[in-house]
Structure 1
Amino acid sequence: MRRLGCIILLIGLVVTAFVAFRFVHGWTEDGPGKDVTIIVPEGASLSEAAVLLRQAGVVRSADAFLTRAKVFGGSEPIKAGEFRIPPGASNAEILAILQGGRALTRLITIPEGMPSILVHERLMANDQLTGDIPVPQEGSILPDSYAFDRGEPRAAVVGRMQAAMDRTLAELWAKRSPNAVVKTPREAIILASIVEKETSVPAERPTVAGVYGNRLRSNMMLQADPTIIYPITRGKPLGRRIRKSEIAAVNDYNTYAMTGLPKGPIANPGRLSILAVLQPAQTRALYFVADGKGGHIFADTYQQHNENVRKWFEIRRSRGEL
């Protein structure tokens, strides 16, 4: 009987040791080989998260995960959000992901100079956002990359974009140069939107702004091609050459048929274009034309400008564009 008792005791110790080993090893061993994302709702408990993990197939047992997490995981609460669970993640690694709050970062990017109609289309096309929105006011969006959560309302994202523009404009307006021609923050956005659409070379923006400042002071027409296009397409690419009738069209935007600024912005200008308008280059130039290399040539006089235009047409003819 004593020998039998010893054997039973030994078996019990072996079984206990095995169970203990499996319990401990189960905390750090590789999990199922799946790469998934899970969404932990705001206020979800650890037990609720365990069920979500089991349903997603990244833990073998919700109860086992919960028990191990309580024993080995400490008292740090889990975070809400969308989380990526990498293939083979152990129970310990999964809990660390949920407790560390390493939620997925989703970004939507608004390029400099994108008109609001295209901002609207980009937001509406993103199926991870929710809710309908109107086209934002032109010039109210600061071009940048913005993080958002899956299921977040589009209106909330637009609100952040507009708040960023308000902050940036207030910051730059406070540092404006006495040489700036604009009299109000709205005028700054209007002129910055024209500068944005006229050149894609950042180093040129202060000079382009300086040229337009000189023209406004001299009561000259700005004659900016993008202001012809905006009333036609609301900022979308025209896809063809501008017609003579469109150059002569009288409206609130066409700066070939009016002096002064258009009635509103023609795009959403970036920070550098706003800065260029508020801190323009000191220049006597009144004209500029493309140089054939992606930039522009500037001229102080109409005679100089005509010569630069002649050279530009020669370049276009050599390319077969005329």
Structure 2
Amino acid sequence: MAQPVKRKAAKKQSKAPFSKGKGLLVILLIVLMGLFWIGSISLWKTYPIQGERQLISVNNGETYTRFIDSLAKENKVKLPIVLKIYQKFMIHDSLKAGVYEVRRGMSVRQVLNMMSNAENAQMNRILVIEGTTFKQLIERLQQDPLVDKTVVNLPTSEMVQALGIPYAHLEGLFAPNTYFYNKGESDKKILLDLYHHQMENLDAAWAARAPNLPYKNKYEALTMASIIEKETSLDKELPQVAGVFVRRLQQGMRLQTDPTVIYGMGERYQGKLTKDDLRTPTAYNTYTMAGLPPTPIALAGKKAIQAALHPDQSNNIYFVATGNGGHTFTANLEDHNRAVQQYLAVLRAKKSGATP
């Protein structure tokens, strides 16, 4: 009677390894199916475009993380974390600025891979931001691998001669905007395009300028526009800032604007102005000199140029930051001093952690 019992037990033991292996296989299939599903809705998903081809512009300095987040926000991709993991471990490179052509049927993975190599760009995107200096523009072109360098590495005097621009000082003469050029376009062509755009903006605004402005010529208007550009980032404040500076010139007051002092200091400026800096004369220190500085101090945008030639008609001759964005404009010293105290109170409140 013992033998049948032993044979029965042996049968049961022989089934156990088979059942365990089958379970592992099922788990593995589930995992593979899950990974395939995740990939199908993220990496291998067709990149959504309108039409057969679409251009995508990538800004200089933009990161994969920011690019993927923007795609997710626009509901163009799902599971952005998967895309970020793929980029980190499989692409091993940074997002390259340029204009890329995405064709219908390309997957998200293909698009991400394409943007890691600037050679894949169809066009080069040149972004010139309002308020940047000519020096910063030149550095941007020098560092751009898609620009053919023919003049940007020359000394300024030779660059002026090579460009054929009738000004000895090149600051402010180039229009901020977003431009698209073919890969390998020369820096000379780019700079001349920006110069002609700026002159067109200035000529049009000068022809339609308001009466009785304190400028001898349109170059002085451009100089004023560059100061206005550096004083506020709010479009609605541009005519107000222009009005303050125009009235100061008309009344024989000094402009007393910090951006001109900073520009005149050049490399000596380390991020903070002191009282000594304001008292130290330079060709651009509008605390120690009367009138406008000799040249623009930055690249002024079209709106700042318009403001310089169409200032507001208030009586304000002072303005100070609010500490919470924007400025307070006032017409007399008493109100201005009060606004200054309010600004200092906001700064103290922020420093102490209290609500201003």
With the shorter chain as reference, the TM-score category is 0.5 to 0.7
Compared CA separation, residues 271 and 87, structure 1 to 2 (3 A): closer
Asked whether 1:221 is paired with 2:254, we answer yes
Q: Which residue of 2 aligns with 1:42?
A: none
Amino acid at match of 2:193: R
Compared CA separation, residues 87 and 295, structure 1 to 2 (3 A): closer
Q: Which residue of 2 aligns with 1:143?
A: 176
| Aligned counterpart in structure 2 of residue 168 of structure 1, from 186, 191, 201 | 201
Compared CA separation, residues 277 and 87, structure 1 to 2 (3 A): closer
Contact 1:288 1:298 in 2 (8 A): yes
SS in 2 for 1:146: strand
Amino acid at match of 1:175: A
Contact 1:112 1:196 in 2 (8 A): yes
Q: Which runs of 5 or more structure 2 residues have no equivalent in the other structure?
A: 1-98, 107-120, 161-169
After the TM superposition, which parts of structure 1 deviate over 3 Å for at least 4 consecutive aligned residues? 82-89
Compared CA separation, residues 130 and 282, structure 1 to 2 (3 A): same
Q: Which residue of 2 aligns with 1:125?
A: 143
Work out the CA distance in 1 between the residues paired with 2:297 and 2:325.
21
Compared CA separation, residues 318 and 85, structure 1 to 2 (3 A): closer
Corresponding pairs, count? 227
C-alpha displacement of 1:123: 0.8
C-alpha displacement of 1:84: 4.7
Work out the CA distance in 2 between the residues paired with 1:131 and 1:106.
14
1:134-187 CA distance string (max 9 Å, x none): 467101100001111111111110010001011111111111011433231100
Q: Percent identity?
A: 35
Work out the CA distance in 1 between the residues paired with 2:261 and 2:350.
25
Work out the CA distance in 2 between the residues paired with 1:85 and 1:201.
35
TM-score by length of 2: 0.60
TM-score by length of 1: 0.66
Q: Which residue of 1 aligns with 2:297?
A: 266
Matches within 5 A, 1:230-269: 230-233=263-266, 238-269=269-300
1:209-232 CA distance string (max 9 Å, x none): 000011001111100000110022
Amino acid at match of 1:264: T
Matches within 5 A, 1:53-72: none
Work out the CA distance in 2 between the residues paired with 1:120 and 1:113.
14
Matches within 5 A, 1:1-322: 84=101, 86=103, 104-134=122-152, 137-233=170-266, 238-320=269-351
C-alpha displacement of 1:241: 1.8
SS in 1 for 2:226: helix
Q: Which runs of 5 or more structure 1 residues have no equivalent in the other structure?
A: 1-81, 90-102
Compared CA separation, residues 86 and 222, structure 1 to 2 (3 A): same
C-alpha displacement of 1:239: 4.6
Amino acid at match of 2:222: I
1:246-285 CA distance string (max 9 Å, x none): 1111111000101100011100100000000101110111
CA RMSD of aligned residues (A): 2.5
SS in 1 for 2:304: helix
